[in-house]
Amino acid sequence: MIDEVRIIAQLKDEAQRENAFNTLVHEYQEVLYWQIRRLVITHEDADDVLQNTFIKAWLALDEFRAESKISTWLFRIAVNESLSFLEKKKRVSDISSGTNEYIASQLLSDPYFDGDETQALLQEAIALLPNKQKVVFNLKYFQEMKYEDMSQILGTSIGALKASYHHAVKKITDFFQQND
């Protein structure tokens, strides 16, 4: 783990900014990639969104007020970029009503996906969730993130996050029962 106080000080210092940012990229690129990948599904799209995430973070460094952890700030940018990407893809796509089903099928045809049948079903079930539930489920289930941290990232109350997670789990459970 990085020393937040030290890295923030380095990010504020023009002479050390680039090296400090490279440290952030090195520290967080994998965990952000997988968070993004679970939302946008394909490797290529995840790479693009991850790159946009770090570009936005770099451009917004002067606006970072250190009121939250750096990881929380980066996750917020990554989630927003992922959701923007999905909305843009939905608008551009002719598959508007079947977008989630299309995304699920993309997962199964992705050469980078190497999970077993159960993992494929889980990912398909997640892909079928509404975006908000998808984000909450991924942050809680895969990142084991606390509701307090999710609340900062998503700007939503803890109660609403718990409800979203509960609904997501119920929908995933129902999906597995239907595909049993």
> Over the stretch 32-79, which tens digit does the pLDDT of each residue have?
999 999 888 889 999 999 999 999 999 999 999 888 889 999 999 999
Q: How many angstroms separate the Cα of 113 from the Cα of each of 5, 34, 99? A: 37, 12, 19
pLDDT at position 103, please?
Answer: 58
Model pTM?
A: 0.82
Which amino acid belongs to residue 121?
L
8 Å CB contact between 85 and 49? yes
The domain spans of the chain are: 4-178
CB within 8 A of 177, min separation 6: which ones? none
> Over the stretch 3-29, which tens digit does the pLDDT of each residue have?
888 999 999 899 999 999 999 999 999
Greatest C-alpha distance within the chain: 58
Q: Where is average pLDDT lowest: 3-12, 53-62, 108-117, 133-142?
A: 108-117
What CATH fold (topology level) applies to the domain 4-178?
A: Rna Polymerase Sigma Factor; Chain: A (1.10.1740)
